[in-house]
C-alpha cells in the first residue's frame, strides 16, 4: 500500500506532467507562429531570435497550463522549483529547435537515417526529425515535472 503522502506526490507529478504536456502541445503547435517555425533553425542572429521568440511563447503557454492546474487544485509548488524546471525545459527546447544540434546528436548516436526520414516540405510532422524532436521535448517535460513536484 502506498502512503497517503506518496499518493499525493504521485497525483501531483501526474497532473503536473499532463499540464506541461498540454502546454507543450499548444505552445509548440498553436502558439508558435509560422515565422518562428520557418526561421528558428536558420543560422545566424535571425534564427536565434526566432527560436528565442518561440521558446518564450512556449514557456508562457506552459506556465498558463500550470497556473490553471494550481488554481484548480489549490496546490502550489515551490516557486524556485517551478522556475528551475521551466528554465531547464526552455533551454532544452531552444537547443533542440535550433535543429542542427538535434541533427548532430542523431548522427552521433546512429539515428541520422531516421532523422532524415520523410520529406519536411510535404509532411513536416511525419518525419523522423519531428519524431525525434517531440520525443526529446517529452523527455525534458518528464524531468521538468520531476523538478517541479520534487521541490515541493
* pLDDT digit string, tens, across residues 96-108: 999 999 999 999 9
Ranges of each domain in the chain: 4-150
Contact between 22 and 62 (Cβ < 8 Å): no
Give, to the nearest 10 degrees, the angle between helix 100-108 and helix 128-150: 100
* pLDDT digit string, tens, across residues 66-96: 999 999 999 989 999 999 999 999 999 999 9
Contact between 140 and 88 (Cβ < 8 Å): yes
| Burial of 27 per CB tally in 10 Å (0-12, 13-18, 19+) | buried
Find, among 12, 11, 142, 10, the residue nearest to 78 by Cα: 12
HSE-up of residue 38 (Cα within 13 Å, Cβ side): 4
Per the confidence metrics, is the pTM higher than 0.85?
yes
The residue whose grid cell reads 499532463 is 18
Q: Which residue has the higher pLDDT, 16 or 4?
A: 16
Phi, psi torsion values for 12, nearest 5 degrees = -70, -35
Amino acid at each position: 500500500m502506498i502512503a497517503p503522502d506518496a499518493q499525493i506526490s504521485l497525483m501531483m507529478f501526474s497532473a503536473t506532467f499532463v499540464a506541461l504536456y498540454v502546454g507543450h502541445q499548444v505552445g509548440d503547435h498553436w502558439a508558435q507562429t509560422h515565422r518562428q517555425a520557418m526561421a528558428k533553425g536558420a543560422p545566424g542572429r535571425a534564427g536565434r531570435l526566432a527560436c528565442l521568440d518561440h521558446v518564450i511563447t512556449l514557456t508562457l503557454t506552459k506556465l498558463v497550463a500550470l497556473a490553471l492546474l494550481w488554481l484548480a487544485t489549490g496546490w502550489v509548488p515551490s516557486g524556485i522549483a517551478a522556475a528551475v524546471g521551466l528554465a531547464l525545459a526552455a533551454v532544452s527546447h531552444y537547443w533542440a529547435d535550433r535543429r542542427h544540434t538535434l541533427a548532430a546528436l542523431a548522427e552521433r548516436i546512429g539515428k541520422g537515417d531516421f532523422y532524415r526520414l520523410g520529406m519536411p516540405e510535404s509532411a513536416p510532422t511525419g518525419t523522423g526529425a519531428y519524431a525525434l524532436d517531440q520525443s526529446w521535448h517529452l523527455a525534458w517535460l518528464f524531468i521538468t515535472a520531476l523538478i517541479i513536484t520534487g521541490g515541493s
